[in-house]
Amino acid sequence: MPTGGAGKSGFVEAEVMRRILLESGVPAEHIVVEIRGRNTLESARLCDTLLRAAGNVECVIPCTSPYHLARCAVLLRLQGWHVRLVPMPSDLRNVAWWKLLFYYLKECAALPCDVVLLLLRPLMPRGLPIS
């Protein structure tokens, strides 16, 4: 399930990933795309909806950058999913060390914020966006 809406580049992230999956031999009927998520929390909530609609999902395996894996896993687990973590390829070859450090620090701040927002969602009035 590729996820993510239009990024700063203008490309819809999920569509780019869908294309890669198709080129790698994954049948189109096995790919469910979430294209509206503007951030990790929003994508996790939208994926939850799509996964529940699909039914019969035993396990979710998030595939993302290693620095981003923990937050994705926690958000999915908080929504009731059995999450299995598998090693992801390192970003070290493609990203400068100082940028990776920034990404890890960002995750340290974003994880507790997203957890609080996800847990508060049922208490918020309907129609009030939380992202």
pLDDT at 127 exceeding the cut of 60: no
pLDDT at 124 exceeding the cut of 80: no
pTM score, two decimals? 0.87
Identify the residue with better confidence: 123 or 45: 45
Task: Give the model confidence (pLDDT) of 15-69 as tens digits.
Answer: 999 999 999 999 999 999 999 999 999 999 999 999 999 988 999 999 999 999 9
Q: Could you tell me which of 8, 10, 58, 54 has the C-alpha nearest to residue 34? A: 54
Q: Could you tell me which of 95, 42, 44 has the C-alpha nearest to residue 69? A: 44
Q: Cα(25)–Cα(39) distance, rounded to whole angstroms? A: 28
Task: Give the model confidence (pLDDT) of 84-110 as tens digits.
Answer: 999 999 888 889 999 999 999 999 999
**CB 78, CB 115: distance < 8 Å:** yes
Q: How many CB atoms lie within 10 A of CB 2?
A: 21
Q: Cα(29)–Cα(83) distance, rounded to whole angstroms? A: 23
Using pLDDT thresholds of 50, 70 and 90, give the confidence band for residue 1. Answer: very high
pLDDT at 131 exceeding the cut of 60: no
